[in-house]
């Protein structure tokens, strides 16, 4: 082995010796933070645990990171394990905070990071368990039931934590029992039997489970329900017997979705037997039909009649929950409709970026015909001319078509100063073809017309044409630059900056695009295309936020709405949508703060007042809620959602009992 090789080996050994303390020290730091997180989690201090897990994750990415860690899942990458632990902390904290949706949403974010990337069966079961339990705890019973049944089936392949499996089985039974409420007896009995079977599984298979007692109670409750049901009812008075038969006919028709006949029977019962106890069910049935048809107003009206027609407080509570459920869940406010001309323009720019120049020019010519704003006419005209010129550059076969279209544009808009763009591009094409005679003919044909227009930019162009004519004998063979004197730059700075911004916007580089639009406005503060570009960018953020909201990715939605406000604090819809998102996360105080800002910047924002009322209602601040709803109704007396929510507050059980 030569001296050079020995030297290299020695150098590597020395390097490893020098850095090894960093590896050891960093690994120790990661484990110290991770173990601190574990202790806080076991002590139910979930947010402190999250803080330490995050610090461990950050530390693990430095030199000397710990790639894997031993846990109840055997060996896992530390990043995977930390994400799971953080998800678990947010889930447990959500439970501790009375099913806090914001905490559950954070848990879902961390679950989503790893559920499709890990191959560890035990971890996948636990992650699916967390998903299902979040759905159950937020009232999404149908979806939760499917996922929970999958977990139970999966447990035959992989045996998970006994406590969690017993909870899964108990919750399946609990969902069946809750779904049994208000069902017809024959369906209700089947649902109760299903619930009872699951409760019995818990009692027989998991006697040491925390859910043993709850399962026993569930079984007793079901037995009690049906022991009462199976007792013969005392005979009804003749009128009540008739009312009951009419109700049974109506319910049967409704069950078979024969709504018209069902309505006739319900109305008949209400008309003939207004004092019957069955009238409550008649109003409820009508409310169900209207709700099924999407007629919120009539649905609410009938649920309200049902509430007032019974003295049974338990029935009132059930009916009020139905009444409340009809009020539409808050949804984000959509951006103003995009001007179809602007939309076509952006489509044309996209074609231009894809080098589909003739298609872009075709669209631009269409919108030129319906455009009146002088800024936009100038802009569209210049870009259309540029498209025809680029089509020629791309393929010589487009030479004649480009010349013809440019002449036509120049003639059609000759009264507009910037129609000179068309003739500039004609001259550029002839120059590239070394056709100085055609260049001179073009200049002569339009020179006198433009020389009568007082415009600094045009005067600069005419001077260059004049110099060209004077130096025509020195033409160097058709180079486009023509010794640097032709053609001159005739685009104002604000136009160039705007176009750079528009190109960035087309490529979804929104931050850079917004900056260019602002730079354009610094040159000319009323340049409408740049103003519209800024609005388009903000509306893009708004639409992205709404998409995240619809996908229940609420934190990402908040981030998008906040980006808008970083640019423009007066953007009322961003404040409003931020408030609506906070409502979905049960952060009602934050929602009120954002919605107040929305009404500050736009005093006629009826939706913002509506959701202010909704947020106050959720905080049981009924007087303030009614004030905000009255404000919404003062803007629009026919605003049905505000009327519906106001009625909801006015008939709540605390008032009606």
- Residue extents of the structural domains in the chain: 20-153, 238-326, 340-491, 569-657
CATH homologous superfamily of 20-153 equals: Tetratricopeptide repeat domain (1.25.40.10)
Task: Kindly state the percentage of the chain with pLDDT values over 90.
Answer: 39
The residues with which 74 forms a beta bridge, in sequence order, are 71
- The overall average pLDDT reported for the chain is 84
Give yes or no for a contact between 397 and 358, defined as CB atoms under 8 angstroms apart.
no
3-state helix, strand and coil shares in percent for the chain, rounded to the nearest 5: 75, 0, 20
Q: What is the pLDDT of residues 592-605, one digit of tens each?
A: 999 999 999 999 99
Q: Residue 363: pLDDT above 70?
A: yes
Q: Is the per-residue pLDDT at 611 higher than 70?
A: yes
**Burial zone of 476 (CB within 10 Å; 0-12 exposed, 13-18 middle, 19+ buried):** exposed
pLDDT reported for residue 119: 82
Q: Does domain 569-657 have CATH number 1.25.40.10?
A: yes
Burial 283-308 (b: 16+ CB within 10 A, else e): bbbbbbbbbeeeebeebbbbbbbbbe
Residue 63, pLDDT > 80, answer no
CATH number 1.20.1630 is the correct assignment for the domain at 340-491: no
State the pLDDT at residue 15: 46
**Structure confidence by residue, pLDDT tens digits, 126-156:** 899 999 999 888 888 878 888 888 888 876 6
Report pLDDT digits (tens) over 205-223: 888 888 888 989 888 888 8
Domain 20-153 matches domain 238-326 at the CATH topology level? yes
Q: What is the H or E stretch that residue 330 is in?
A: none
Q: Please, which contacts does 10-19 make with residues 24 or more away whose CB atoms are closer than 8 Å?
A: 19/63, 19/64
Instruction: Quickly state the pLDDT bin for 476 (edges 50, 70, 90).
Output: very low
CATH topology of domain 238-326: 1.25.40
Across 610-625, average pLDDT: 92
* Measured distance CA(92)–CA(104) in Å, rounded: 9
Tell me the three-class secondary structure of 78-133, residue by residue.
HHHHHHHHHHHHHHHHHHHCCCCHHHHHHHHHHHHHHCCCCCCHHHHHHHHHHHHH
pLDDT at 484: 38
Q: What is the pLDDT of residue 291?
A: 84
> According to DSSP H, which parts of 273-339 are helical?
279-292, 296-308, 313-326
- Give, to the nearest 10 degrees, the angle between helix 162-180 and helix 141-154: 140
Which of 189 and 517 is assigned the larger pLDDT? Answer: 517
Q: 413-417, 470-474, 532-536 — which is least confidently predicted?
A: 470-474
pLDDT at 486: 47
Nearest to 427 by CA among 467, 369, 375: 467
């Amino acid at each position: 082995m030569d001296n050079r090789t020995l030297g290299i080996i020695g150098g590597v050994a020395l390097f490893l010796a020098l850095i090894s303390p960093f590896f050891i020290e960093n690994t120790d730091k990661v484990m110290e933070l991770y173990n601190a997180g574990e202790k806080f989690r076991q002590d139910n201090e979930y947010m402190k645990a999250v803080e330490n897990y995050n610090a461990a994750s950050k530390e693990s990415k430095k030199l000397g990171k710990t790639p894997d860690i031993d846990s109840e899942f055997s060996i896992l990458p530390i990043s995977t394990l930390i994400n799971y632990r953080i998800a678990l902390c947010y889930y447990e904290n959500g439970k501790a905070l009375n099913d806090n949706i914001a905490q559950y949403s954070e848990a879902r974010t961390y679950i989503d990071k790893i559920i499709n990337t890990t191959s560890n069966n035990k971890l996948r079961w636990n992650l699916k368990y967390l998903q299902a339990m979040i759905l159950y705890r937020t009232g999404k019973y149908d979806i939760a039931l499917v996922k929970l049944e999958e977990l139970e089936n999966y447990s035959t392949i992989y045996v998970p934590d006994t406590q969690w499996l017993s909870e899964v089985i108990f919750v399946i039974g609990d969902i069946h029992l809750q779904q049994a409420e208000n069902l017809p007896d024959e369906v209700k009995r089947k649902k109760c039997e299903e619930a009872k079977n699951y409760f019995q599984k818990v009692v027989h298979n998991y006697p040491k489970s925390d859910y043993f007692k709850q399962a026993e109670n569930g079984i007793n409750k079901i037995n009690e329900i049906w022991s009462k049901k199976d007792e013969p009812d005392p005979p009804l008075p003749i009128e009540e017997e008739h009312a009951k038969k009419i109700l049974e006919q109506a319910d049967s028709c409704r069950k078979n979705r024969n709504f018209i006949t069902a309505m006739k029977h319900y109305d008949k019962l209400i008309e003939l037997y207004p004092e019957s106890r069955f009238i409550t069910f008649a109003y409820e049935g009508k409310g169900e039909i209207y709700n099924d048809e999407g007629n919120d107003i009539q649905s609410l009206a009938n649920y309200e009649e049902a509430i007032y027609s019974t003295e049974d407080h338990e029935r009132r509570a059930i009916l009020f929950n139905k009444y409340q459920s009809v009020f539409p869940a808050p949804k984000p406010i959509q951006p103003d409709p995009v001007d179809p001309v602007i939309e076509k323009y952006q489509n044309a720019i996209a074609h231009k970026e894809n080098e589909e120049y003739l298609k872009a020019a075709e669209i631009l010519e269409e919108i030129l015909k319906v455009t009146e704003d002088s800024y936009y006419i100038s802009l569209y005209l210049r870009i259309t001319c540029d498209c025809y010129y680029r089509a020629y550059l791309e393929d010589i076969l487009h030479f004649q078509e480009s010349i013809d279209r440019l002449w036509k544009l120049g003639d059609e808009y000759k009264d507009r100063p910037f129609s000179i763009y068309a003739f500039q591009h004609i001259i550029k094409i002839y120059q590239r073809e070394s056709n100085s005679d055609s260049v001179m003919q073009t200049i002569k044909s339009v020179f006198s017309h433009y020389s009568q227009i007082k415009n600094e930019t045009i005067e600069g162009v005419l001077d260059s044409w004049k110099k060209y004519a004077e130096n025509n004998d020195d033409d160097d063979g058709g180079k486009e630059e023509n010794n640097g004197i032709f053609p001159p730059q005739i685009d104002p700075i604000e136009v160039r900056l705007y176009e750079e911004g528009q190109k960035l916007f087309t490529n979804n580089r929104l931050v850079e695009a917004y900056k260019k639009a602002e730079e354009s406005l610094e040159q000319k503060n009323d340049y409408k295309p740049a103003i519209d570009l800024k609005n388009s960018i903000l509306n893009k953020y708004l639409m992205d936020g709404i998409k995240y909201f619809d996908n229940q990715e609420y934190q990402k939605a908040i981030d998008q709405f906040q980006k808008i406000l970083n640019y423009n604090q007066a953007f009322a819809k961003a404040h409003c949508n931020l408030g609506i998102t906070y409502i979905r996360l049960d952060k009602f105080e934050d929602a009120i703060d954002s919605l107040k800002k929305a009404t500050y910047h736009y005093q006629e924002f009826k939706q913002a007042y509506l959701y202010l009322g909704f947020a106050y209602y959720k905080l049981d601040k009924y007087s303030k809620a009614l004030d905000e709803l009255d404000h919404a109704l003062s803007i629009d007396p026919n605003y049905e959602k505000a009327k519906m929510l106001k009625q909801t507050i006015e008939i709540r059980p605390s008032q009606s009992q």
